[in-house]
Amino acid sequence: MNPTVLITYATKHGSTREVAEAIARPVEQHGLSVDIHPAREIGDLTGFDAVILGTALYMGRPHADARRFLKRYHEPLSRVPVAVFGMGPLTTGDDDVAGARKQLERALAAVSDVTPVSTAIFGGVVKPDDLHFPFRHMKASDARNWPDIEAWGREVATLLAERLTVPV
């Protein structure tokens, strides 16, 4: 039986889920089984051999569901390979990505027993119609770089397959 990877995500408007689904494809292509679920729906980690956590980054912090997931499951996460991605900067400029990376690193420092095999920051999405005032007046944008997302998915799939001793 193939090892199973939980790909879990915390999102407000669905763009983090879309990235999680894109990352699932190369993971499955490396011979790993994948289950994708929102972080708020996870009851326990029994049966999962590895975890990929994706979180939207809002106002200097990962989504509350991701913070709760890390806090609740830090002990079992310390025993399996974990990869984490964050989404949120409005551009993929160096300063925006560095700021988002600091947000993610700060959240991971709160669960110091969890050591990800890989982390990544991807651009975020702004859909003004989904937002409340005053953010509703922001310009619509989508800073996700799909080739970078797919490349990271392949990288993580390889890392997980190696750690879970799956022939690639």
Length of the chain: 168
The answer to whether residue 129 is domain-embedded is yes
pLDDT digits (tens, 9 = 90+) for 4-18: 999 999 988 788 999
Q: What percent of the chain has pLDDT over 70?
A: 86
Residue 139: CB atoms within 10 A of its CB come to 7
* Reported confidence tier of residue 60, pLDDT bands at 50, 70, 90: confident
Q: Tokens 């993610």, residue?
A: 104
* Angle, CA of 25, 101 and 91, to the nearest 5°: 75
The answer to whether residue 134 is domain-embedded is yes
Are 139 and 132 spatial neighbours (Cβ–Cβ below 8 Å)?
A: no
The torsion angles phi and psi of 90, rounded to 5 degrees, stand at: -75, -15
pLDDT digits (tens, 9 = 90+) for 140-166: 556 688 999 999 999 999 999 999 976
The answer to whether residue 88 is domain-embedded is yes
Residue 78's domain spans which residues?
4-163
CA 76, CA 44: separation in Å to the nearest integer?
9
CA 121, CA 77: separation in Å to the nearest integer?
20
The answer to whether residue 168 is domain-embedded is no
Burial 40-63 (b: 16+ CB within 10 A, else e): eebeebeebbbbbbbbbbeeebbb
Average pLDDT, the chain: 87
Q: What is the pTM of this model?
A: 0.89
Number of domains in the chain: 1
How far is CA 113 from its chain centroid? Answer: 18
The answer to whether residue 102 is domain-embedded is yes
23-32, 51-60, 139-148 — which is least confidently predicted?
A: 139-148
User: What is the CATH number for 140?
Assistant: 3.40.50.360
Output the pLDDT for position 78: 96
Residue 3 has pLDDT above 60, yes or no: yes
Residue 110: CB atoms within 10 A of its CB come to 12
The answer to whether residue 145 is domain-embedded is yes
